[in-house]
């Protein structure tokens, strides 16, 4: 048992495994405002990693529709209920109480994590290292159940106009794309009795050693996000591997000069909602200050992207820009107390990042989360992206260039 610092919770917490940190950490930001639920990411992953016999119900990347959808079904509602029963005082945050060196930007979590709740929870099947459950076979079927089923209702014909007004739509849903979060304090790793799960020093990717695994499914039970899965043909557990050959620059078909590539789900994304990379971890296990890194900038500087269910306590490395139209109470139980700030930052972006300044091209009125209108100036700036070696790999303007096809090529592909 270790006493570790979880910056997302703004406090120390107990973790039932020895503390150890990688040099770099795989992390990603998903912008839920842009996801169209096309499942291209899902199929890019499936066609690369999970097309074998026994993997039919395995979707390392899935996109579910909130609030009703889930893969496996009800995974989050079930665990939240278990946490509430283990800690009836509820999942409370002390807003604004920043932790060590201001490293708890969302306030301080005063409820119980899955590790802390397991210490007091009396499971009839015996002690657990993390509060969790094993989904039934049925719950793994129908990964896309309740797709685009909206919550809320409209009472009369005139209510439709009001129902789709910001800041909160009365009738709403949003797509939530999910992969393994390659957590800093993984529940799957802590629960494995064979020590078959490990976190790589070079990128923090969490892997299952297929030779050591005996298929006890303790990882499936302990992962709060249900991203460790059982393979009934090989009779061992499997999970998202973070496309590590691409991260290592060893995908011989595509990598140039051994440079890292994005994972399959990230590079295939049609909605361009995904940003992925590595963040530097310091000797204390915290994120090194690096505002030039777009992940660091979005997550730590601007706090526009938030962790998914930080209260579970695994310090997930997947972050989400919350959907600006969804009810705040729902979003706050999902992303913590930083929701209002994140939406405000998203609605009115700044011009601080690595850009070449361009001319002003528009001025629009934006509805802030508070409901107040604000003027937002839009500039045709140029954004520049660099790879790990510091080489420029992308340059794009805010106003995307358009190309008109020559008449000779009309209606041809
Ligand atoms: S999301 Fe689940 S499977 Fe992935 S590292 Fe975290 S606990 Fe393990
Ligand atoms: S490919 Fe992108 S836009 Fe399409 S479902 Fe996946 S995350 Fe959403």
Cα of 269 vs centre of ligand 2, distance in Å, is 5
| Residue of minimum CA distance from atom 5 in ligand 1 | 182
350-397: per-residue pLDDT in tens?
887 767 999 999 998 887 877 788 899 999 999 888 887 888 988 989
The answer on pLDDT for 305 being more than 70 is: yes
What pLDDT score does 103 carry? Answer: 54
Task: Report how far apart, in Å, the C-alpha atoms of 35 and of each of 32, 41, 273, 363 are.
Answer: 5, 11, 6, 25
Enumerate helices (H) and strands (E) in the chain, giving the number of each.
Answer: 12, 19
Please classify residue 38 by burial: count the beta carbons closer than 10 Å to its beta carbon, then call 0-12 exposed, 13-18 middle and 19+ buried: middle
Q: Is 177 in the pocket of ligand 2 (CB under 6 A)?
A: yes
Q: Which atom of ligand 1 is nearest to the CA of 316?
A: 6
Q: How far is the CA of 179 from the centre of ligand 1 (A)?
A: 9
Q: Do the Cβ atoms of 130 and 41 come closer than 8 Å?
A: no
Quick one: pLDDT at residue 354?
Answer: 65
- Which atom of ligand 2 is least distant from the CA of 177? 7
- Are the beta carbons of 173 and 149 closer than 8 angstroms? yes
pLDDT of residue 97 exceeding 60, the answer is no
Confidence of residue 412 (pLDDT cuts 50, 70, 90): low
| Higher pLDDT pick, 250 / 124 | 250
Ligand 1: distance of its center to the CA of 180 in Å?
A: 5
By residue count, the chain amounts to: 413
| 279 Cβ below 6 A of ligand 1 | no
Stretch 340-354: mean pLDDT, rounded? 86
pLDDT at 154: 74
Atom in ligand 1 nearest the alpha carbon of residue 318: 1
- Report whether 381 contacts 399 (CB < 8 A): no
- The verdict on the CB of residue 62 being under 6 Å from ligand 2 is no
Q: Which atom of ligand 2 is nearest to the CA of 175?
A: 8
Shortest-distance ligand to the CA of residue 267: 2
Q: What is the pLDDT of residues 223-254, one digit of tens each?
A: 999 999 999 999 999 999 999 999 998 877 77
Mean pLDDT of 66-78: 98
pLDDT, residue 100, reads 44
Q: What share of the chain is helix, strand, coil (3-state, %, to 5)?
A: 20, 20, 55
Give the per-residue pLDDT at 348: 87
Residue-level pLDDT at 99: 45
Of 7-11, 378-382, 400-404, the range with the lowest mean pLDDT is 400-404
- The answer for residues whose C-beta is within 8 angstroms of residue 328's C-beta and 6 or more apart is 168, 339, 340, 369
pLDDT digits (tens, 9 = 90+) for 167-195: 889 899 999 999 999 999 999 999 999 99
The C-alpha atoms of residue 207 and residue 197 are separated, in whole angstroms, by: 6
């Amino acid at each position: 048992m270790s006493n570790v610092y979880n910056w997302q919770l703004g406090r120390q917490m107990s973790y039932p495994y020895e503390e150890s940190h990688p040099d770099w950490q795989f992390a990603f930001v998903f912008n839920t405002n842009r996801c169209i639920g096309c499942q291209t990411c899902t199929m890019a992953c499936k066609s690369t990693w999970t097309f074998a016999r026994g993997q039919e119900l395995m979707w390392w990347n899935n996109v579910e529709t909130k609030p009703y959808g889930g893969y496996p079904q009800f995974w989050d509602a079930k665990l939240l209920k278990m946490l509430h029963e283990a800690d009836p005082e509820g999942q409370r945050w002390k807003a604004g109480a920043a932790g060590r060196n201001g490293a708890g930007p969302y306030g301080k979590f005063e409820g119980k994590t899955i590790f802390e709740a397991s210490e007091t929870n009396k499971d009839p099947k015996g002690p657990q290292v993390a509060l969790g459950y094993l989904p039934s076979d049925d719950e793994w079927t129908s990964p896309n159940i309740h797709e685009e089923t909206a919550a809320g209702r409209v009472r009369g014909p005139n209510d439709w106009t009001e129902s789709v007004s910001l800041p909160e739509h009365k009738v709403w849903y949003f797509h939530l794309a999910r992969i393994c979060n390659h957590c800093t304090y993984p529940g799957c790793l802590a629960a494995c009795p064979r020590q078959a799960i490990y976190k790589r020093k070079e990128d923090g990717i969490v892997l299952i050693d297929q030779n050591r695994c005996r298929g006890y499914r303790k990882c499936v039970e302990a992962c709060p996000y249900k991203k460790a899965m059982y393979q009934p043909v090989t009779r061992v557990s499997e999970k998202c591997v973070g496309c590590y050959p691409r991260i290592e620059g060893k995908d011989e078909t595509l990598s140039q000069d051994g440079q890292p590539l994005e994972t399959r789900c990230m590079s295939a994304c049609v909605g361009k909602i995904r940003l992925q990379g590595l963040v530097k971890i310091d000797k204390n296990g915290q994120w090194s200050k690096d505002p030039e890194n777009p992940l660091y900038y979005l997550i730590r500087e601007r706090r526009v992207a938030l962790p998914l269910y930080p209260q579970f306590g695994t310090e997930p490395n997947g972050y989400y820009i919350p959907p600006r139209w969804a009810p705040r109470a729902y979003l706050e139980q999902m992303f913590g107390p930083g929701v209002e700030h994140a939406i405000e930052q998203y609605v009115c972006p700044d011009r601080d990042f690595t850009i070449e300044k361009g001319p002003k091209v528009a001025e629009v009125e934006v509805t802030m989360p508070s409901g107040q209108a604000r003027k937002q100036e839009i500039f045709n700036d140029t954004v520049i992206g660099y790879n790990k070696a510091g080489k420029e790999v992308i340059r794009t303007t805010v106003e995307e260039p358009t190309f008109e096809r020559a008449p000779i090529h009309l209606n041809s592909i």
